């Protein structure tokens, strides 16, 4: 992990996640009745809980809208959920005004072109390992894990490590 990423992670007060391709593997699963289901990593969920327990706020911004994501956000206790919003930078501006935070205090994890404006603007903009190549080129860092397979956990642990809170977050479970 680079010193630059750790330095960027020190000031983070809000971690924002995309859904499809980040908290999931990016595949869309539809049943015959038209309903949709997604799979989420429990490792990612635990990482998000650890981040919130350390005082970092969390949010999801997704271009798609589905009840499955609403249920997942509720289960994890993520307080800020925005779905069906294609212009993620506009959503982030609204959220920053509400929370009285600056871009430098935000970390974002994404995987595709709609995430790029946010990734390039925030203090810590990261891409998952299997993100689109153009997005990876413009991110501050790239996770080792693929989306839906622990990338969000890695992202959360980076922030916790940068803020000197990872050991305490892990010790809480001993």
Q: How much is the mean pLDDT over the chain?
A: 95
What's residue 23's pLDDT? 98
Would you say 135 and 143 are in contact if contact means Cβ atoms under 8 Å apart? no
pLDDT band at 174 (very low <50, low <70, confident <90, very high): confident
Side-chain half-sphere of 13: how many Cα atoms within 13 Å?
9
User: Quick one: average pLDDT of 120-142?
Assistant: 98
pLDDT band at 2 (very low <50, low <70, confident <90, very high): confident
CA 58-79-92 angle, 5° bins: 55
- pTM of structure: 0.95
Q: What distances in angstroms separate CA 32 from CA 39, 71, 174, one per listed residue?
A: 18, 21, 45
> Residue 55 is encoded by which pair of tokens?
């005082």
* 93 has a pLDDT exceeding 80: yes
Residue 152: CB partners within 8 Å, gap ≥ 6? 17, 22, 23, 41, 43, 44, 47, 48, 109
* 37 has a pLDDT exceeding 90: no
**In 3-state terms, what secondary structure has residue 172?**
coil
């Amino acid at each position: 992990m680079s010193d630059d990423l750790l330095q960027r992670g020190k000031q983070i007060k809000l971690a924002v996640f995309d859904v499809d391709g980040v908290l999931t593997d990016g595949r869309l699963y539809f049943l015959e009745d038209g309903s949709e289901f997604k799979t989420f990593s429990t490792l990612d969920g635990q990482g998000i809980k650890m981040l919130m327990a350390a005082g970092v706020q969390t949010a999801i911004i997704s271009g798609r809208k589905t009840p499955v994501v609403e249920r997942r956000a509720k289960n994890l206790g993520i307080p800020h959920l925005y779905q069906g919003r294609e212009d993620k930078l506009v959503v982030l501006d609204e959220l920053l005004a509400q929370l009285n935070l600056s871009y430098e205090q935000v970390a974002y994890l994404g995987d595709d072109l709609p995430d790029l404006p946010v990734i390039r603007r925030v203090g810590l903009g990261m891409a998952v390992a299997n993100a689109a190549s153009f997005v990876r080129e413009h991110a501050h860092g790239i996770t080792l894990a693929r989306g839906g397979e622990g990338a969000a956990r890695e992202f959360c642990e980076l922030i916790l490590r940068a803020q000197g809170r990872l050991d305490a977050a892990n010790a809480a479970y001993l």
